Structure 1
Amino acid sequence: MTVSRKQINFLRGWPTPGLLPTTLLSSASQRVLANQDEYTKMQEYGSCHGVTRLRKGLADWVGSHYGVTPNLERICITGGASQNLVCILQCFSDVNYTRAVWVVAPCYHLACGIFEDNGFAGRLYAVHEDDEGIDLETFDRQLQEFENQDKPNRDLKPFKQPSVERKLYRHLIYTVPTCSNPSGLTMSLSRREGLVRLARKYDGLVISDDVYDFLQWPLTAPVTPDRSAEMRLPRLCDIDRSMGPSDNDSRGFGHAVSNGSFSKMSGPSVRTGWAEASPPFITAIARTAATRSAGAPSQLCAAMLADVVENGQLQRFVDETVRPTLQRRHRLMMDAIDRHLSPLGVKARTSSLNGFETFGGYFVWLDMGGEVSTTFLAQVLKAEENVIIGHGQMFAVHGDEKRTNFTNSARLCFAWEAEQDIVDGIERIGQLLVRMKQNREHYLRLASTSYNIH
């Protein structure tokens, strides 16, 4: 029976209500809907590329952040990162021609289902990472071994009709290179460059979820609009662009796409994001059949966001509210971990980028140690303390769980629960770990007989 104490949910990766720019969106909505010429245009189907004002505003904002030349032809508006992942698969993958999907592990667990829904069940493979990101030597070896074993399938005819407007890739590589969900890790510059080179070598497309890039902060210094160089590492699509055309890409589609989202900056309900890649790649996404039929995704929300991006209000909200709030919440969680969990042998990642004092995103990744798996620990926590965590194996790659083992790991979100509940929840975890040590035989016996705790 679950205890009656208040539930504390560290699994939920939502922004706390104070991180929602409700007033900004309300005002923007009124401005957009007050002008008949504008609201008529916004309430119709719209351009497949999306609202031009938002594309231009994003090009300027993103260009300024990363130090690249703004180019709205490299950007289209999407219905969010998950929806756009589906569009990318529709345009650039084929169940016959695309031989494998490589997923950096631990991975964003809900992405695996999207690949499986698109015909790649049983063909997802885990890619190991260390403290700098992808282990490039191991990944290169994996790719080469796969190619050698897959030679009989190289001449399979694509299932989809060929098109000069699209390119099919032999390999897909999925990663969250900045403040990764779940690990919080940021991939170093050298690993980013190496990953793009591997994608070019093996005719791969790197799908980069860049949803946390603007949500970084220094560990100890005050948050300011200015960001240090380590918080502005080039995206994989920028690195790909800087390398020029590749030998197996004569039409200039490129080998990396940035998948962005407003969900963590303006609330998940806006269901709006953007993609950035080469102009041919972006045109192909914008012209997927569903978009051509239904028109630009998130047309009205995109118009509201265009307003607050264009006038700088959203950027200020991120710098003055979102980043400082996340910094404070992260510090509260880390201090509580130091007090209640570290003395019990639990280890936490302390910075996102190896060698630098920065962090970002929503999550802390723990090595719990101990004699039982975090799958079991999560069930006991819920039953005895009413605390919910993300156990490590939840973030293993579907179908390739044995390649990378996360049975002693756990993910905790510091963005959702009330600040005092963050502290109380960590204390409850510590109390359970103490009980488990004091009653070791009882819990080992429970773990060996059943995971079904009631």
Structure 2
Amino acid sequence: MDILLDKTLKQPIYIQIYEQIRLKIMSGEMEEGTVLPPERKLAVKLGVNRSTILNAYNRLKAEELIESRVGQGTVVSVNAEERNEIVKPKWNQLFNNRLDDFNNNMISRLFPLLGKKDIISFALGMANPDLIPELPFAELADITKDKANREILSQTPVAGNEELRENICKLLAKESITCTPEEIMVLTGSQQGIDIATRIIIQPGDVVIVEAPTYFLALESFKSAGAKIIEVPIDNNGMQMEGLEQLFIKYHPKCIYTIPNCQNPSSCSMSLVRRKKLLELAYRYDVFILEDDAYAGLGFTGKTLPTLYQLDTNGYVLLLRTFSKTICSGIRLGYMAAHKRMIAQCCFVRQNMDIHPNTISQWLICEYIKSGTYEVHLKKIKEEYLKKCNLMHNELLNHAPVGLSWSKPSGGYYFWCHLPKEIRTSELLVLCIRDGVAFMPGIPFFTYENGENYMRLNFTTPTARQIQKGIPILCSNMKKLINTDTMENRLSPSNFLPLY
């Protein structure tokens, strides 16, 4: 058996041996039943260690191409005609090891259940589909009948459609936020902005400071970048400032990620005093701030605090917003506002991802903003969401067990509830799903799985009837767990939630 080795290559020797033997088997050169040289003999012939041959043979055995037979040694176990059926992807070897954590966590097992019609879901974070406005699809169809107008469906600049960026600037100007189209990049949802900013700012080992709890997909982005995540507690006034400067001194963070308005999952908003303090610390210690303002315009009080981006005078803040939370979840369009040098870097990264946002979505949103009805729509959905919020608050007051606590949201999408110490949300979730109700457990919103006694309830997506039916079921199951004195009937989500 001829095998040629090139020790100048970076490729390990055992891989070279494995690949050449595999090729001989797959091509039919080595037929089923062919006896391979003993490990020691082949090692001497090739001038390598016996362990190198052993590693190559083990890899071939893992693919079921060879096997050890008593009295024969190591033989080819597959013929050329069978190779396409036998040789299949070794999925566990191919996938990134980090996916093991995500695949096995509660969120990935919960998502497939949320779209089922027989489940009342308080887990989703979506705009209510019944409140989706009428977008100008008909106008788009009429305009593009003329071939001369079809350039509006062509590729846009990496930063997004220029007219849309101009209209976003006009929207921001109504909030007294001044920026130019060069300081705007249109995104495929604000999650893309988190991913792009992470690629630009974070290197493996860098520190990111986040609120605890916070948006779990942002945590996933930071983990994927190899960041070390430091959590800072929040209260009803947002991220707590006590001790924050000491964290800056100790860890030298590269970035702070914050949701200062209608925070996800807590729905709290950062006070003006704390916003100014956070900026002061960012300037002093040279730290970028990633401001996720996904729930902009969804406050119920009528009082609007300036964004960190608006207060920033030195270009440290990257503001992220989305139309997915205010218009419809499927539109997948948002934007970043930042210093033009930051936007230029973001465009460089973005062109290696999806090149530019969806052209049709950009045109639809641009025309919708130009029509002047976006602000009217915002007012309408806020009124509806406030009604739902009040309804859920009253249902909780009427049915909650002793020990359940929450703060009534002043905007946004969610109730953030602290459960009695006897209840673990992982157990509660199993009981509730069996009764047709789902919620979002608290664990994913923390880096170090500290949220076992918390849950997030969405009030924007379910109907009023579903809230009136689902909250009593949820509270009834909490009471069952409180009254369970033994561990005999303790449940685990792995006993019920599907694994993929």
TM range (shorter): 0.7 to 0.9
Other-structure match for 2:282: 199
Q: 2:325, 2:142 → 1: CA distance? A: 23
Q: Which amino acid aligns with 2:287?
A: G
Structure 1: runs of 5 or more not aligned = 148-169, 219-227, 246-253, 352-358
Cα deviation digits, residues 11-53 of structure 1 (max 9, x gap): 11122221222x224245336535644431x322222221111
Counterpart Cα distance in 2 of 1:261 and 1:441: 46
In the alignment, the residues of structure 2 paired with residue 51 and residue 73 of structure 1 have an alpha-carbon distance, to the nearest angstrom, of: 11
- Aligned CA-pair RMSD: 2.4
Of residues 402, 416, 420, the one that matches 1:369 is: 420
> Per-residue displacement from partner, 1:32-77 (whole Å, max 9, x unpaired)?
535644431x32222222111111111111220x223353232121
Name the SS of the counterpart of 1:360 in structure 2: coil
SS at 1:297 equivalent: coil
**Alignment deviations for residues 279-330 of structure 1 (CA, whole Å, 9 cap, x no partner):** 2222222233x4278643222211111001011122222222x211211111
Query: Distance in 2 between the 1:125 and 1:330 partners?
Result: 32
Among 318, 322, 342, the alignment partner of 1:257 is 318
Q: 2:120 aligns with which of 3, 8, 15?
A: 8
Deviation at 1:119, TM superposition (A): 3.0
Q: Do the aligned residues in 2 keep the contact of 1:380 with 1:453 (CA within 8 Å)? A: no
Q: How many percent of aligned residue pairs carry the same amino acid?
A: 24
The letter for the 1-side match of 2:431 is V
1:236 corresponds in structure 2 to: 308
Higher-Rg structure is 2
* Shift, 1:387, TM fit: 1.5
Residue in structure 2 matched with residue 387 of structure 1 by the alignment: 437
Q: Which residue of 1 aligns with 2:105?
A: none
What is the aligned partner in structure 2 of residue 119 from structure 1?
226
Q: Equivalent residue for 2:377?
A: 317
Return closer, same or farther for 1:115/1:70 CA change in 2, 3 Å cut-off.
closer
CA contact (8 A) 1:101 1:173 kept: yes
Distance in 2 separating the partners of 1:293 and 1:115: 18
Q: Normalised by the size of structure 1, how large is the TM-score?
A: 0.78
Retained in 2: the 8 A contact 1:9–1:417?
yes
Whose RCO is larger (CA < 8 A, sep 6+)?
Answer: 1
Q: Is the 8 A contact 2:404 2:419 kept in 1?
A: yes
C-alpha distance in 2 between matches for 1:326 and 1:111 = 25
Alignment of 1:53-64 (within 5 A): 53-64=163-174
Question: 1:394 and 1:144, CA in 2 relative to 1: closer, same or farther beyond 3 A?
Answer: same
Residue correspondence of structure 1 range 128-147 to structure 2 within 5 A: 128-147=233-252
Gaps of 5+ in 2: 1-112
| Paired AA for residue 408 in structure 2 | T
When the two structures are superposed, what TM-score results if normalisation uses the length of structure 2? Answer: 0.71
Mark the CA change 1:95 to 1:440 in structure 2 (over 3 Å): closer, same or farther. closer
**1:275-424 correspondence to structure 2 within 5 Å:** 275-288=336-349, 290-291=350-351, 295-320=355-380, 322-341=381-400, 344-351=402-409, 359-383=410-434, 385-397=435-447, 400-401=448-449, 405-424=450-469
Contact 1:32 1:303 in 2 (8 A): no
2:63 corresponds in structure 1 to none
Write out aligned runs for 1:45-84 (5 A): 45-64=155-174, 66-84=175-193
